[in-house]
Amino acid sequence: MTDSPADTLRAAAARLREHTSIGAYTATTSGAALLRAREPLADWLDEVAELHEPDTNARGYGCDWCGDEDWPCSDTRHALAVARAVLGDAR
């Protein structure tokens, strides 16, 4: 069974939150910035997961919001790219 986009987003958010990094204080400037960005990134992934609707709705097709460029859920494709990078999944 394949994970839904929302499942993938939530798994990546959990992965970002599961480790604390003491190395943030000794990392390079750019590395430290990425470490500080973990929680905001995790929050963003969770928010996009909440907006995303199940793959099939009452009319038989996927999320109504994903195809709408004027709605924030159009960010699902970008959030999934981030989530897959976090999870090490090159799909």
Answer whether 63's CB lies under 8 Å from 53's CB.
yes
Which residues of the chain fall below pLDDT 70?
1-2, 19-27, 52-75, 90-91
pLDDT at position 3, please?
76
Q: Say if residue 9 is exposed, middle or buried (CB neighbours under 10 Å; 0-12, 13-18, 19+).
A: buried
The Cα-based distances of 56 to 9, 37, 40, 52, 59 in angstroms read 18, 33, 29, 11, 8
Q: Residue 61: what pLDDT?
A: 57
Predicted TM-score (pTM) of this structure: 0.69
Q: Which domain holds residue 29?
A: 5-87
Please enumerate in sequence order all residues whose Cβ is within 8 A of that of 41, keeping only pairs 6 or more positions apart, or say none.
13, 16, 82, 86
- Number of folded domains that form the chain: 1
Token representation of residue 35: 């470490």
User: Is residue 41 within 8 Å of 70, Cβ to Cβ?
Assistant: no
